[in-house]
Amino acid sequence: MCGIFGVFGHPEAANITYLGLHALQHRGQESAGIVVSDGDHLRPVRKMGLVADAFTRDELAGLPGHMAIGHVRYSTSGESALKNAQPFSVEYVHGAIAVAHNGNLVNASDLRRKLEMDGSIFQTTSDSEVLIHLIARARELETEHRIVTALKQVEGAYSLLFLTEHKLIAMRDPMGFRPLAIGRLKDAFVFASESCAFDLLEAELIREVEPGEVVIVDAKGLRTYRPFSPEPTRFCVFEHVYFARPDSMIDGRSVYRVREALGRRLAKEHPVDADIVVPVPDSGTAAAIGFARQADIPYEMGLIRSHYVGRTFIEPQQSIRHFGVKLKLNAVKEILNGKRVVVVDDSLVRGTTSRKIVKMLRDAGAREVHLRISSPPTTHPCFYGIDTPTRSELIASSHSPEEIARYVTCDSIGYLSVEGMMEAVRAAAPGDGAERRHCDACFTGKYPIEFRPGTISSLKRVVN
């Protein structure tokens, strides 16, 4: 869960990257970083915290250059600490190189152990540093060839941006788990995890970087090649369900349209007599709109979200119970009192949020509460870059929907089926048939990359 941004050929590369990262803030709130090249040197600034707080005007002014890459981080591997903030940048025998990574390398611990046995010294605990070591050991002359040699040893999910003194290199893993798009901003090329970053900059979305494609931009222009043997694509379906911004185009389709279609399909699979449809904002909003339209039930904003809840919060001494969700959401009593309510959220992970929301709706006077989830039960952890807890904490891995309904105290529960989800995703990009496949391992346990138990030492507990 990270966002990456890059620009080549713009006199204000640092400022452009700052804005691009701001649009990608939802993909990571732990740390933010920018590395700029002026053609001779790379200059990095990395900070903990949000983009708007991390960089001062003076710091950005102190980053001259016409090419840059940036990163916002939400750790799925390695602890949350400044040393793990990206982009990483190093000096090595071929000059300077920086990397920004979105994804998760599943064999990183194995590779790291081997490199350490061979004398490598690591400065961070993040899996992305392994890449830099592998690149430094590669013998090829051109940076892009060294990068490919390194990546052929790596298994997992990666959308990557590299910056050297003279080049920007963008690539996606052969299965294309995580998004990455190319845009044009006047004479400059821009790269971003999601197209919403281009909208902010008034840049034009050209296309997505294809799975397995390497894109190189330097003084000679943009060129591209495909050094990996082709694999069936496996774009992450959870990007559509929850993670990406609804105003983005990813995977050739509008995230908003996908979510609306998920909600419509959910209404067909789990209809219910009710007075109003209420989203859990913001994650359930577009699906709730689809549900309400399909079911022909009025849509109401029965829950209001505070947009000022940070990740860290100091609990006052005075004990007021149930702080967590109340701080973020409040129920509108006038809307809910006496009503039969369908409440729609995108996913149910441990069930603690839903339980609190159901109580909040009942306390506000809801007569019935019917929970509808616009994805299937989350039964398996993700090893490809989405932060999910271990299996034992995923309530659906050991409980039936009926048991979950009892736990969250709702009158009924309905999850979207796997087939329903995939049909909704396909319907949002008609003509984009069976050749485009998705990773749905968190819902099915069908992991597209085999992994050997024990190699996933990097999996950590969810932090939110």
- Tell me whether residue 68 or residue 303 sits nearer to ligand AMP (CB atom): 303
Interface pick for ligand AMP out of 18, 242, 291, 384 (rule CB under 6 A): 242
Type of residue numbered 8:
F
Q: Per rule CB under 6 A, is residue 412 in the interface with ligand AMP?
A: no
Phi and psi at residue 71, to the nearest 5°: -150, 140
- Tell me whether residue 10 or residue 328 sits nearer to ligand AMP (CB atom): 328
- Tell me whether residue 184 or residue 460 sits nearer to ligand AMP (CB atom): 460
Interface pick for ligand AMP out of 7, 349, 405, 416 (rule CB under 6 A): 349
Interface pick for ligand AMP out of 83, 350, 359, 367 (rule CB under 6 A): 350
Interface pick for ligand AMP out of 345, 377, 428, 436 (rule CB under 6 A): 345
Q: Per rule CB under 6 A, is residue 359 in the interface with ligand AMP?
A: no
- Closest distance of CB 138 from ligand AMP, Å: 34
**x/- track of binding to ligand AMP for residues 269-308 (CB under 6 A):** -----------x--x-------------------------
- Tell me whether residue 5 or residue 238 sits nearer to ligand AMP (CB atom): 238
Of the candidates 2, 236, 410, 439, the residue annotated as catalytic is: 2
Interface pick for ligand AMP out of 346, 381, 383, 425 (rule CB under 6 A): 346
Interface pick for ligand AMP out of 312, 318, 319, 464 (rule CB under 6 A): 464
Q: Is 2 a catalytic residue?
A: yes
Contacting ligand AMP within 365-404 (CB under 6 A): 386-388
- Tell me whether residue 27 or residue 146 sits nearer to ligand AMP (CB atom): 27
Q: Per rule CB under 6 A, is residue 354 in the interface with ligand AMP?
A: yes
Stretch that binds ligand AMP, among 197-205, 348-356, 409-417, 453-461 (CB under 6 A): 348-356
- Closest distance of CB 32 from ligand AMP, Å: 18
Binding site for ligand AMP (CB under 6 A): 242, 280, 283, 345-354, 386-388, 464
Query: Which residues are catalytically annotated?
Result: 2
